[in-house]
């Protein structure tokens, strides 16, 4: 299967963000991608999460979700993007990944588990954590995709739970906060999660200045198959179930691990 990574430079203009998602989805479809992944907070983003996030939050069947479903349908691709979802609490929203199929139907919803209360940022002040820590995996085109968001990448137990739930590809949709060593950590953690689980990691990231860019696809041996730079752009690459099986034959970690 061919998947695409759409690296955005999202801001507070929701319509402009949706227009960028539309353009990159069209390009991904022309490049033969069957699924395109966009970053965390693709529909609305600022340098620091604040009270405006719950203020713009919507249910997934609201205008933003409806627009994303329409983009997926128009271009015949599955589409995964980060949105600000209404939680029922006017002061805190959910940081949600929504996956739509080529028919516009909702395939999956993942609400971020690990909120970014680090580097002096308090995401949990305005964002609610997922009510459940259950892994979210959805199937599309014969491939199983596990969903995780940004800071989740630092928690190997979530990646392992997604792998145990059958994920072949981890979609790590992110707005990775810049800082000392942060780009190197982003790449290293994506490679580590791929290697230790024998699967692909697809990291779709926001571009600078809000994030570090460098969206990338890592194969089960940790090889970087494609990596974007600092500018908004889109790139497609292939994932192979045969490659996963081959690597897991070489390194049968799931049969060998001893826990408890």
Three-state DSSP class for 245?
Answer: helix
Q: Tens of pLDDT along 51-84? A: 999 999 999 999 999 999 999 999 999 999 999 9
Once rounded to an integer, what is the mean pLDDT over residues 137-144?
A: 98
| Interval 194-216 mean pLDDT | 98
Is 46 a known active-site residue? no
Report the pLDDT value the prediction gives residue 260, as an integer from 0 to 100: 61
Looking at the DSSP assignment, which residues form a beta bridge with residue 106? 100
Give me the chain's average pLDDT, please. 97
Contacts of 93 (CB under 8 A, 6+ apart): 53, 54, 57, 84, 85, 86, 87, 126, 127, 128
CA distance 205 to 94: 19
Helix (H, G, I), strand (E, B) or coil at 24: helix
**Nearest to residue 39, comparing CAs of 232, 259, 199, 225?**
232
- The catalytic residue among 9, 40, 45, 58 is 40
Q: Which of 9, 123, 128, 150 is catalytic?
A: 150
For residue 257, what pLDDT band results from cuts at 50, 70 and 90? confident
112 is catalytic: yes
Query: What integer is the mean pLDDT of 179-190?
Result: 98
Q: Flag the least confident range among 94-98, 161-165, 240-244, 254-258.
A: 254-258
Tell me the fold of 2-255. Nitrilase/N-carbamoyl-D-aminoacid amidohydrolase (3.60.110)
Tell me whether residue 91 is one of the annotated catalytic residues.
no
Rounded alpha-carbon distances, angstroms, from residue 23 to 7, 8, 11, 182: 12, 11, 16, 29
Q: Annotated catalytic residue: which of 9, 58, 85, 112?
A: 112
At residue 187, φ and ψ (nearest 5 deg) are -70, -45
Return the pLDDT at 255: 86
């Amino acid at each position: 299967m061919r998947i695409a990574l759409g690296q955005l430079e999202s801001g507070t203009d929701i319509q402009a963000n949706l227009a960028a998602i539309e353009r990159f989805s069209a390009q991904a479809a022309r490049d033969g991608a069957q699924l395109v992944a966009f970053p965390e907070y693709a529909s609305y983003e600022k340098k620091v999460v604040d009270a405006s996030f719950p203020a713009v939050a919507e249910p997934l069947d609201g205008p933003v979700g409806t627009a994303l479903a329409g983009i997926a349908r128009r271009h015949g691709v599955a589409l995964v993007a980060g949105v600000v979802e209404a939680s029922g609490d006017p002061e805190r929203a959910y940081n949600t990944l929504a996956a739509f199929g080529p028919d516009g139907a909702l395939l999956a919803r993942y609400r971020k588990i690990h909120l970014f209360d680090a580097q002096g940022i308090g995401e949990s002040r305005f964002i609610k954590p997922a009510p459940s820590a259950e892994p979210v995996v959805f199937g599309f085109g014969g491939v199983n995709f596990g969903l995780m968001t940004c800071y989740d990448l630092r928690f190997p137990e979530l990646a392992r739970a997604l792998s145990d739930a059958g994920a072949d590809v981890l979609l790590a949709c992110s707005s990775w906060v810049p800082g000392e060593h942060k780009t190197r950590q982003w790449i290293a953690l994506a490679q580590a999660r791929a290697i230790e689980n024998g699967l692909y990691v697809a990291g779709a990231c926001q571009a600078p200045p809000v994030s570090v860019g460098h969206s990338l696809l890592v194969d089960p041996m940790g090889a970087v198959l494609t990596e974007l730079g600092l500018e908004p752009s889109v790139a497609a690459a292939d994932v192979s179930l045969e490659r996963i099986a081959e690597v897991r034959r070489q390194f049968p970690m799931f049969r060998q691990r001893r826990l408890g």
